Amino acid sequence: GNSVTQMEGPVTLSEEAFLTINCTYTATGYPSLFWYVQYPGEGLQLLLKATKADDKGSNKGFEATYRKETTSFHLEKGSVQVSDSAVYFCALSDVGSWGKLQFGAGTQVVVTP
Amino acid sequence: GAVVSQHPSRVICKSGTSVKIECRSLDFQATTMFWYRQFPKQSLMLMATSNEGSKATYEQGVEKDKFLINHASLTLSTLTVTSAHPEDSSFYICSARDLLRDRDYYEQYFGPGTRLTVT
């Protein structure tokens, strides 16, 4: 079956540091890949997405590239801010699954001033 | 656009009672809605998928007689936790797909969640 594995947290960084959160997946088909963010006390929000191999999703300074050869979708940001403190979820949705999302375990990111 | 609301945001109920949680798509038609459960500091676990006008499809291990899902209209789905017990205490999240907007990929729009506490 499909699965998503992402690095465990919490990840603690200083403001303006480089952030990377690793995410790898297994899937039988050609899934769409997503990063969702959950800020404290709020619901999940889509951060970025990629629907096919070599696509790069980007939003709010975050980027992730769909790497079919390594089955990865690592999230990166060059300079984090305190406001980026949140839980980040990697997820996939396989074709024909009605859009069901398979989530990774989530990675908590804490950015300190 | 693509706003999903949930009501209530928090609910406390006594063991043995039932509680209903509503999920609404406010500005789009949601042909498919999903219900998730999230335990503290853990990921989301998909409970069921509901398509408007048909019975929900439950994930393995989810008791369909305990977690009743109704998707009677294109903008409303409800989750009823029947005969609730303390172990049902959790954060319940719904999401919805806008089939007209997202035909080619499978983006979901999430509600803010409902915190259920069973005493």
Give kind and range of the element (H or E) at residue B4. strand B4-7
Tens digit of each residue's pLDDT (9 = 90 or more) over A45-67:
899 999 899 999 999 999 999 99
Q: Which of B34, B105, B112 sits opposite A49 (nearest CB)?
A: B105
Read off the pLDDT band of B29 (50, 70, 90).
confident
Query: Measured between alpha carbons, how far is A9 from A3 in angstroms, rounded to an integer?
Result: 18
pLDDT value of residue A30: 83
Interface of B with A in 40-59 (CB under 8 A): 41-44, 46, 49, 51
Q: What are phi and psi of A65, to 5 degrees?
A: -115, 130
Tens digit of each residue's pLDDT (9 = 90 or more) over B71-96:
888 899 999 999 999 999 999 999 99
Contact A22, A9 (CB under 8 A): no
To which residue do tokens 């303006």 refer? A16
Tens digit of each residue's pLDDT (9 = 90 or more) over A21-53:
999 999 987 899 999 999 987 888 899 999 899
Q: Which of B43, B46, B104 sits opposite A100 (nearest CB)?
A: B46
Report the amino acid identity of residue B82. T
Read off the pLDDT band of B105 (50, 70, 90).
low
pLDDT value of residue B1: 66
Q: Mind giving me the DSSP string for A16-75?
A: T--EEE-EEEE-SS--EEEEEEE-TTS-EEEEEEE-STT-EEEETTEEEE-BTTTTB--E
Nearest Cα of chain A lies from the Cα of B53 at a distance, in angstroms, of 15
